[in-house]
């Protein structure tokens, strides 16, 4: 395989990965779509707080890890360099997490505000909110009712042949099929005798 063919294949793979990532991102955005302003505010506050907690965590954790790793490799000087490097990484990471959380939070509040008019009108149109898909779904009770009427009450339509095959398989060879009894007199007499024996 030439290097050019290898690059072409890699480019196709990268495009496929990018498409998959776009679809995943769209699924995440759709599932996190707020139903109305109230959900948007709740989600926004959650994102802001998550970003703030993450920022504090990385600001504290990065210098500590840098100090520890530096001290193991270079003693006091390595520890000092690790501490300073960790502080820089912690500061940059903390700012990124805090800003990212704030941007996501504000975005969710705006999305909630935009979705509020639809949230007011949709239930009167027979729609219900699907939490998993993050969208309003139209409920068609007449169609659903008709579909339910078309469903059989039992599984005979699916298992009919299987039940017949199972009944044939359970009969011993030479067995006679049950026939209808015309006169129960003998059976009644035997049952009466059996009851007297039991007493």
| HEC sequence for the chain | CCHHHHHHHHHHHHHHHHHHHHHHHHHHHHHCCCCCHHHHHHHHHHHHHHHHHHHHHHHHHHHHHHHHHHHHHHHHHHHHHHHHHHHHHHHHHHHHHHHHHHHHHHHHHHHHHHHHHHHHHHHHHCEEEECCCCEEEECCHHHHHHHHHCCCCCCHHHHHHHHHHHHHHHCCCCCCCCCCCCCCHHHHHHHHHHHHHHC
pLDDT of 2 strictly over 60: no
What does the pLDDT look like over 81-120, one tens digit per residue? 888 988 898 899 889 888 988 998 899 899 899 989 998 9
- pTM tops 0.85: no
What does the pLDDT look like over 130-173, one tens digit per residue? 887 788 888 877 787 888 887 877 777 777 777 777 777 776 66
pLDDT of 3 strictly over 60: no
Contact 28, 130 (CB under 8 A): no
pLDDT at 113: 92
What does the pLDDT look like over 24-60, one tens digit per residue? 766 655 557 888 898 889 988 988 888 888 888 888 8
What does the pLDDT look like over 75-89, one tens digit per residue? 888 888 888 988 898
pLDDT at 109: 92
């Amino acid at each position: 395989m030439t290097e050019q063919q290898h690059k072409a294949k890699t480019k196709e793979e990268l495009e496929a990965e990018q498409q998959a990532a776009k679809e995943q991102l769209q699924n995440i955005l759709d599932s996190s779509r707020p139903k109305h302003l109230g959900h948007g505010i709740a989600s926004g506050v959650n994102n802001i707080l998550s970003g703030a907690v993450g920022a504090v965590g990385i600001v504290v954790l990065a210098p500590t890890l840098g100090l520890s790793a530096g001290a193991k490799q270079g003693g006091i000087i390595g520890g000092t360099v690790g501490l300073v490097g960790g502080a820089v990484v912690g500061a940059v990471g903390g700012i990124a997490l805090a800003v990212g959380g704030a941007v996501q939070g504000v975005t969710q509040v705006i999305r909630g505000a935009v979705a509020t008019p639809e949230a007011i009108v949709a239930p009167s149109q027979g729609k219900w909110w699907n939490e998993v898909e993050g969208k309003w779904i139209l409920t068609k009770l007449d169609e659903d009712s008709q579909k339910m009427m078309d469903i059989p009450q039992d599984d005979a339509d699916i298992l009919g042949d299987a039940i017949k095959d199972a009944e044939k398989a359970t009969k011993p060879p030479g067995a006679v099929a049950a026939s209808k009894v015309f006169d129960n007199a003998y059976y009644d007499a035997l049952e009466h005798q059996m009851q007297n024996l039991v007493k």
